[in-house]
Chains A and B, each alone.
Chain A
C-alpha cells in the first residue's frame, strides 16, 4: 500500500481524523473524568459533530481512578450523557491510547462503526508512579518495587548509562534534548511547562537516577486527549474533503528473546538457546508501522516519540531509523530534530513539556500529528508536514506507533 502521489487515490484501509482535542496538561488536582470529557467535547467540536452522532466510544483506561478508571469508555460515555453508543475500554499502560486508536480503527475498517470517539485521561499522583497496593508477589511491577526499589527513573538511568558506555553520549547531549523540547513546548498552549530551559539549568538540577537529573526525566501529569475517527466515506459525506488519515497503527509485542531490560522486569529473556531477533523490541514497533503504511523513515516530516527521559529520545531516533545505531546524539547536535530541522522530533514539546498522563499520551501524540498535518500548529508548525509517526512503549510488552498522512 504505497503512498499515492496525490495523497489519497485508491487507498484502502485508512481512517480519517475528523477531530482532535485536549484538556491542557498540568497538575490541576481534579478527577480524570473531567479532563477526558473536556478533551472529548473539544474533539467533537473540532469535528463538527454532536456526541449523539457518535456510534462507538473507546476509552483508554487508567489504573489510578478506581473502577471508573478501568471502565473508562463507559465512564466517559456516562459523563457525556448515555446515548446508546457501542462502548469499549482498553488498557495497555503507556500504550493504552494506541490500543484505543487501534480498536477504533478496526471497528471502522470492519464496518462495525462509521464514526468513533477515542478518549484517554489521567490524574497523576505527585512523585514516583507506584504499583497497586497489597501483597502481590506474582506481579512483576510489585516485585521490582518490593525487592529492588526500582522506580521508573532507575530504568531510564540504566538506559542512559548504557548509551554513555556504548555510544559515547554525554550528559550534555541528554541536556540538549530537554533544551530542544522545552523550546518547542514553550510554543504549545496545551503543554504543562511553557518556559525555555537552558543546559545549565538541567546540569544544576538534582540527580534522580545517575546519570539522569530531574530535568532529564518527565514529570507525571494530569491531562486528557481525544480523537474523532471515521471511515473515509463518512468523512466525505461530512464534507471533510482532505482529512488527516491514519495509515498504520502498530501495537506489536516483543519477540522472544527480548534482550533489553524492559520495565517492569528484573531480568531480560535468556538468549542462550534462541538467537535474539534482528531488531530490538523498540525498533520492531516502528518497523511494523512502516510496513503497514508502506513508507520508510525517509518519508517522514515529523515524529512524536515517548521521551520519558532525554536519553530515551535519542534511542528512539535510532529505533525509528532516523539515523544509525549510536548516531542519535549526532543527529540532535546537528539540529536535524529541532523545529526547523529536517525531521523535527517532539514538535509538541514532548513529555519533557507535558509530563506523562499515561492513557492520554499516545492519543495526544496523534493530536499533535493532526494539527501539524493540517498546518494548524501555530508557532511550532513544521513547514509542509505530510507524514508523521508516533512511537511509544507500554509496560509489559506493548508497542505503540501510529502513522498519519495528509
Chain B
C-alpha cells in the first residue's frame, strides 16, 4: 500500500524535482515578499497595502548559518521514540532576489561537516516523517557543490 503524500503545511511549497519551489506571497503595492506567506495584510508599515499574490521563491541561495539538533526535539516534532535519535542539520539560507533568510532542514545525509557559511544550496522536496497512511512532505536544503 503506497502512502498518501501530504504537505506538512498547506501552500508553503509546490512542484516536484527541479520544479520544486517554496511559495511565498508578494505585496502588489510595495513588492515586499513574505514567507511564511501573509494572506491578508502587507507587514510593511510604510505600505498602504495591496493584494498579496502567491510567488515562488528562488530555488537557490547561500548559507547564512547552520547548526544541528543533537537531541530529540519535543512534540509536536514527530519522531519514533523506539529508534535511536539521528541528528539532522538545520540551514538558514539567504535568497538574494527576495532578500530573505529561510530556515529549513538539510537533506538527509548532509551534516554540519559538509556545510559552510556562504555555500550555495538549493531547495529540494523531502519527507519529514511517515506514518501508516501518510508521507508528510516538506522542503530540504541541499548543497549544490558550489562553494562561496
Contacts and interface: CB of A to CB of B under 8 A. Distances in A.
Interface of A: 127-128, 130-131, 133, 135, 137, 140, 142-151, 154, 157-162, 165-166, 206-212, 256-257, 259, 261, 265-274
B68 A162 contact: no
Contact of A143 (B9, B30, B98, B102): B9
Contacts of B69: 149-151, 154, 209
Nearest to A258: B43
Across the A-B interface, give the 9 residue pairs with the lowest CB-CB distance, nearest first.
A157-B67, A165-B117, A149-B73, A149-B77, A130-B74, A162-B65, A273-B31, A270-B33, A272-B99
Contacts of A154: 67-69, 90
Interface in B108-148: 112, 116-118, 128, 138
B56 interface: no
Contacts of B27: 273
A145 B68 CA distance: 14
B70 A210 contact: yes
Contacts of B88: 149
A3 to B, nearest CB: 33
B65 A159 contact: yes
B19 interface: no
A206 B71 CA distance: 10
Interface in B17-74: 27, 30-36, 43-46, 64-71, 73-74
B73 A150 contact: yes
B30 A127 contact: no
A272 B74 CA distance: 35
A128 B138 contact: no
Contacts, number: 144
Most A C-beta atoms less than 10 A away, residue of B9, B64, B78: B64
Contact of B101 (A144, A165, A210, A261): A261
B97 interface: yes
B118 to A, nearest CB: 7
Interface string B80-93: 00000000111010
Interface of B: 8-9, 27, 30-36, 43-46, 64-71, 73-79, 88-90, 92, 97-105, 112, 116-118, 128, 138
20 contacts: A128-B71, A128-B74, A135-B76, A142-B76, A143-B36, A145-B75, A148-B77, A148-B103, A151-B69, A157-B68, A158-B65, A158-B67, A209-B69, A210-B89, A256-B45, A261-B101, A266-B36, A267-B100, A270-B35, A274-B44
B58 to A, nearest CB: 11
A150 B116 CA distance: 19
A145 B73 contact: yes
A53 B110 CA distance: 62
B117 A166 contact: yes
Contacts of B116: 165
Contacts of A207: 70
A162 B62 CA distance: 13
B104 to A, nearest CB: 7
Most B C-beta atoms less than 10 A away, residue of A210, A259, A269, A270: A270
B98 A272 contact: yes
A343 to B, nearest CB: 28
B37 to A, nearest CB: 10
A312 to B, nearest CB: 13
